[in-house]
């Protein structure tokens, strides 16, 4: 798979707009401003393929990134940002739920949490949903470069306990400032693609 051959294929708000190629999809979900777009850019060695915003709650569509006509990365709208109207929040919630509930091409939903903070109730609820549809949970702890090593170790332990992760689950520390976590995420994706083919 040539990761340099990547482009945004669709920005969707309804099921009818989803790609119909049948390619496998890996969805990234998490709170607003947790770093989903930055993570996608890092994984693809790109600076601005996925639109990064300093303003939380900016992504209001489901963005499908075509990687070498092989897989899609799917950037879901961030949740948990209160400074939006109730109608907007409800419509975004339905958008995410419709995708996660009905998408047969979805191989894995990957939860992103901020390594600096204890997971929120929204994160816990999202992980419970992931467990209903996937064999195990994969969680990426972002922004690890903003913590000292000792802080990071204790925070990762707190994340593990708060989310109730178990022996079959995976927690990956990730930083866009270096390559921490990047190869681990790609190894997981490649392995899941192989298993899915089998």
Concatenated DSSP letters for 8-68?
EEEEESSGGGS--S--EEEEEEEBTTSSHHHHHHHHTT-SSSSPP-SSTT---SEEEEEET
Both tokens of 96, joined, read: 């995410």
Cα distance between residue 81 and residue 98, in whole Å: 19
Closest CA to 96 of 69, 121, 71, 75: 75
Cα distance between residue 150 and residue 184, in whole Å: 21
How would you classify residue 33: left for phi > 0, otherwise alpha for psi between -120 and 50, otherwise beta? left
pLDDT at 197: 75
User: Domains, the chain, ranges and CATH?
Assistant: 6-197 (3.40.50.300)
pLDDT at 59: 53
Q: Higher model confidence: residue 102 or residue 109?
A: 109
Bridge partner residues of 177 (DSSP):
none
Bridge partner residues of 108 (DSSP):
26
Bridge partner residues of 142 (DSSP):
114
Q: Which residues contact 183 (CB under 8 A, 6 or more apart)?
A: none
Per residue in 15-66, pLDDT (tens digit) is: 999 999 999 999 999 998 899 989 999 999 988 888 665 554 455 789 999 9
pLDDT bucket at 79, cuts 50 / 70 / 90 = confident
Per residue in 177-195, pLDDT (tens digit) is: 988 899 999 999 999 999 8
Inform me whether the pLDDT recorded for 174 exceeds 70.
Answer: yes
Cα distance between residue 67 and residue 27, in whole Å: 13
pLDDT at 25: 97
pLDDT bucket at 165, cuts 50 / 70 / 90 = very high
Please give the model's pTM, rounded to 2 decimal places.
Answer: 0.91
pLDDT at 94: 79
Concatenated DSSP letters for 154-167?
HHHHHHHHHHT--T
Bridge partner residues of 8 (DSSP):
65
Per residue in 82-91, pLDDT (tens digit) is: 555 667 667 7
Closest CA to 78 of 98, 56, 108: 56
Q: What is the mean pLDDT of the chain?
A: 88
- Backbone φ and ψ of 138, nearest 5°: -120, 120
Inform me whether the pLDDT recorded for 157 exceeds 60.
Answer: yes
Other CB atoms within 10 A of residue 38 CB: 19
- Backbone φ and ψ of 114, nearest 5°: -80, 120
pLDDT at 19: 95
- Where is 95: in which H helix or E strand? helix 86-102
Range of weakest confidence among 101-105, 118-122, 129-133, 150-154: 129-133
With beta carbons less than 8 A apart as the criterion, state whether 122 and 79 touch.
yes
Per residue in 133-144, pLDDT (tens digit) is: 898 999 999 999
Per residue in 2-12, pLDDT (tens digit) is: 888 999 999 99
């Amino acid at each position: 798979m040539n990761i340099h051959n990547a482009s945004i294929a669709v920005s969707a708000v309804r099921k009818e707009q989803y790609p119909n190629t049948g390619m496998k999809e890996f969805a990234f979900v998490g709170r607003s401003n947790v770093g989903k777009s930055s993570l996608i850019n890092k994984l693809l060695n790109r600076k601005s393929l996925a639109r990064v915003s300093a303003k939380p709650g900016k992504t209001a569509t489901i963005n499908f990134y075509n990687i070498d006509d092989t897989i899609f990365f799917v950037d879901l709208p961030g949740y948990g940002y209160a400074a939006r109207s109730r109608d907007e929040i409800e419509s975004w919630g339905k958008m995410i739920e419709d995708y996660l509930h009905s998408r047969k091409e979805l191989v894995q939903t990957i939860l992103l949490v901020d390594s600096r903070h204890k997971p929120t109730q929204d994160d816990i609820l999202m992980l419970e949903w992931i467990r209903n549809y996937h064999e195990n949970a994969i969680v990426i702890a972002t922004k690890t470069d903003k913590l000292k090593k000792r802080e990071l170790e204790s925070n990762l332990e707190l994340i593990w306990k708060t989310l109730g992760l178990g022996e079959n689950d995976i927690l990956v520390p990730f930083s866009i400032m270096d390559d921490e976590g990047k190869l681990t995420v790609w190894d997981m994706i490649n392995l899941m693609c192989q298993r899915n083919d089998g």
